[in-house]
Structure 1
Amino acid sequence: MKKQLLALSLLAAFAGMAHAQSNVTIYGLMDTGFIKETGSDLKMGEWNSSRLGFKGTEDLGSGYKATFQLEKRFYVNDGAKNGDLEFEGASNVGLAGPFGAVRLGRMNEIATESFRRLDPFNQEGVGSMLLGSQRTSRVSNATRYDSPTFNGFKFSAAYYLGKNTRDSGNNTLTSNNADNDGFALGLNFDNGPLLLLANYSRLSDSNDSNVWSLGASYKFGSVKIGLGYERTDDKGWKFGSASGKLKDTNIRSKQDNWILSADYKTGAHRIAGSFNWMKVKDVKGSTNAYWTRDDSGDVKKYSIGYFYSLSKRTTLYGQLAYSDFEDKAVAEFFRGKGFENDSVTGVQVGINHKF
């Protein structure tokens, strides 16, 4: 009995020491439901990516602190890992203080993190806005700086290292001039009802492909209206493999992407809607039969969603989206081979719980 009491006392003492040294938060999100789209069977899927994460800080004194974050992504319906990485969501360490914050490792891509604020579906689920072929949610081998907020203004900058293919025996990226480092810049003004944003990014190993975006939203009481524009100049590569969903080699294109959104919230109810227009043009390098020349085409997407909060942490949701593709070539460009429907209707219902 005395040995058990001694062991418990030692554990309590070590726990107290650990708490004094750092502040660690365990957090997570569980989301799953049902999705049905034209041309596909009914399946289980998610709106927000399910995750389990750890983040913490250590007080270094004089307003400075060390920070870290680890986040694993997974699917609730079958327990499978979401992505190829053990910590797909985040794995970074850094320092924060009066100067702002610096992080090293894997983290959110600045331009995506900023621009997705104009999409009431957070660029996830069947209602999500269409995504350009040079967009990704998170980046690895990154160094990121976020400034303090000055009267609503906040500046972010990041640098992303590319793959070192010259010494790896795989010269695919080098021979195609795709072995480049990446970087991103973002400026946001968020003060009361008004949000303004501007971003520029170049992903690593992308043959210097680039994306820039501008946008704004304004909140009138319970209603928020947003408008954004994103331009993609895809020079044919992304993370060392052909970009775009046609899976050909070195597909190049330019993409214009507009979104107009509205969000209404009252009590436990939230209604969201968006209109998304996207045009892909100057497509080159594709061997697909649908692209018979340096072609172009557009797609219009209409989305509406309803969200009901059972509590602060648990939400029931439903989404309905309709995409109208100009032709089969455009449909395959955005959806992949075997999904060439001229129009697609998607329905999604599910439950989302945060902890």
Structure 2
Amino acid sequence: MKTTLGAVLLLAASPAASAQTSITLYGRMDGGIEYLNHIANGNGGSSSRWSAEGGDWGTSMLGFKGTEDLGGGTAAIFNLETALQIMNGTTGGGRLFSRRAYVGLKSETWGQLQAGRNLFIDSDGVWAFDPFVQQAVSSASLVRGRNWQQTSNNVEYHSPVWNGFDVQGQYAFGNQPGAFNSGAEGEFGRSDGIMLSCHSPLFDVRGIYDELRDSSGRFSNIFTASREYFVGGNLRVRKFKIQAAYTHYSAPDSPPGISDTADHYWLGATYQATPRWAVTAAGFYIHVGEGGGDVAHDPASHATLYALGTTCNPSARTFLYGTVAYVDNSGNGTFSVFATPRDASAPTSPMSGESQTGAYVGMMHLF
């Protein structure tokens, strides 16, 4: 890792390289303190937890991006970006560049075409319509992180904005011989999606359809491998930004008798009281369709998540934050205020039907 990062830094510092290419080192660091109650302990009871955590407001990261002007309004581009956990100094998922690693061409006239690893298309598209911008408490909470994944082997296209409209398409190959839809063990299978957006000074509207397959190439779990239909909108009125969305998930290859659909709704608003201080409130609701569950699948249930948060910016690159949330589960529901997979090695879910409260405060610095 030291050799690779050092090579990139030397390239950025090289006079010959800087004459042709613009290379930027960027990142952000996020850390704070977190509280969570009613965590099922596996012995028929529940416990509370205080912990030092990194990335509650947003993933800490380190990245390099660059462009080379090829003339005629066309440029070569690249982006390398990895998640960081500042509490123990590790990188995300054991990968050198866990979030982005792609190269491509960008044209002022024809758009951007790239290939490599990237955020999955809904992660790239949903955050701008989420009142809590995919914090630890956010639109990802009640879908167990379904809308903040990354995929490898992508070929991706971003159009220019034409009269307020733009389109983005993404196709992730499974790369497995004789099994076109499958992926390597521990990876997603063939996945794809398309996103259409409309922008104006008053509002934004976005629609997404995507397919995220498991390593066997199947839609086997509504929150880990499924089809997604999303529509969201932003409305800006003076100091307020109002955001609402609806998502439908479908996993037709789920085991027999297991719930294979879910509907997710949210409504929230941010009040920008001053240029440095903002307050956000939102409600999120999930309804899982009829069927049973198991260790990896949620049964028929529903839950409502209420969240309130604030940010304060003492400078352009540093801000302080605080968020508190409460989730109310139905009898079979085990949803957490945090976006933890149902079968996670370190679960945060409460026992069936139990409510949960979580909160965190922290600081983020961008560079």
Give the structure-2-normalised TM-score. Answer: 0.80
State the distance in 1 between where 2:316 and 2:294 align: 50
Q: How many residues align?
A: 323
Corresponding residue of 1:311:
315
Equivalent position of 2:81 in the other structure: 71
Tell me which moved more, 333-342 or 271-280.
333-342
Give yes or no for the alignment of 1:49 onto 2:59.
yes
Structure 1 residue 114, shift from structure 2 partner: 1.6
One-letter amino acid of the structure 2 residue matched with residue 87 of structure 1 = F
Equivalent of 2:149 in 113, 134, 137: 137
Q: CA deviation at 1:233?
A: 0.5
Alignment of 1:1-355 (within 5 A): 15-38=14-37, 39=39, 40-45=48-53, 46=55, 47-97=57-107, 98-132=109-143, 134-164=146-176, 166=178, 181-205=190-214, 206-208=217-219, 209-235=226-252, 252-265=259-272, 266-284=274-292, 286-287=293-294, 296-331=300-335, 336=342, 339-341=349-351, 342-355=354-367
Which secondary structure does the structure 1 equivalent of 2:125 belong to? helix
Residues 216-249 of structure 1 show CA distances to partners (whole Å, capped at 9, x for unaligned) of: 1110011011110001112457xxxxxxxxxx99
Distance 1:141 1:173, change over 3 A: closer
Give the partner amino acid of 1:261: G
**Residue identity (%):** 28
Q: Is the 8 A contact 1:25 1:56 kept in 2?
A: yes
Structure 1 residues 159-210: Cα deviation after superposition (integer angstroms, max 9, x where no partner): 111251658xxx9969xxx995221000011111211010000014351431
CA offsets 1:56-104 (integer angstroms, 9 cap, x no match): 0001111111000001211111112221322111100000112000010
- The structural deviation recorded for 1:252 is 4.8
Larger Rg: 1
Deviates more, 1:184-193 or 1:39-48: 39-48
Structure 2: gaps spanning 5 or more residues: 1-9, 40-47, 220-225
Say which SS state the counterpart of residue 126 (structure 2) adopts: helix
Q: TM-score, length-normalised on structure 1? A: 0.83
* 8 Å contact kept, 2:259–2:290: yes
Between the aligned partners of 2:331 and 2:238, the Cα distance in structure 1 is 40
Give the whole-Å Cα distance in 2 for the aligned partners of 1:277 and 1:181. 29
Shift in alpha-carbon separation, 1:50–1:96, aligned structure 2, 3 A: same
The amino acid of 1:143's aligned partner reads: V
Q: Quick check: 1:35–1:43 contact (8 Å CA) kept in 2?
A: yes
The answer to whether the 8 Å contact 1:263/1:270 transfers is yes
| CA gap 1:152/1:83 in 2 versus in 1, 3 angstroms | same
Q: CA deviation at 1:27?
A: 0.3
State the AA in 1 paired with 2:61: R
Q: Take 1:15 and 1:129, find their aligned partners in 2: how far apart are those partners?
A: 42
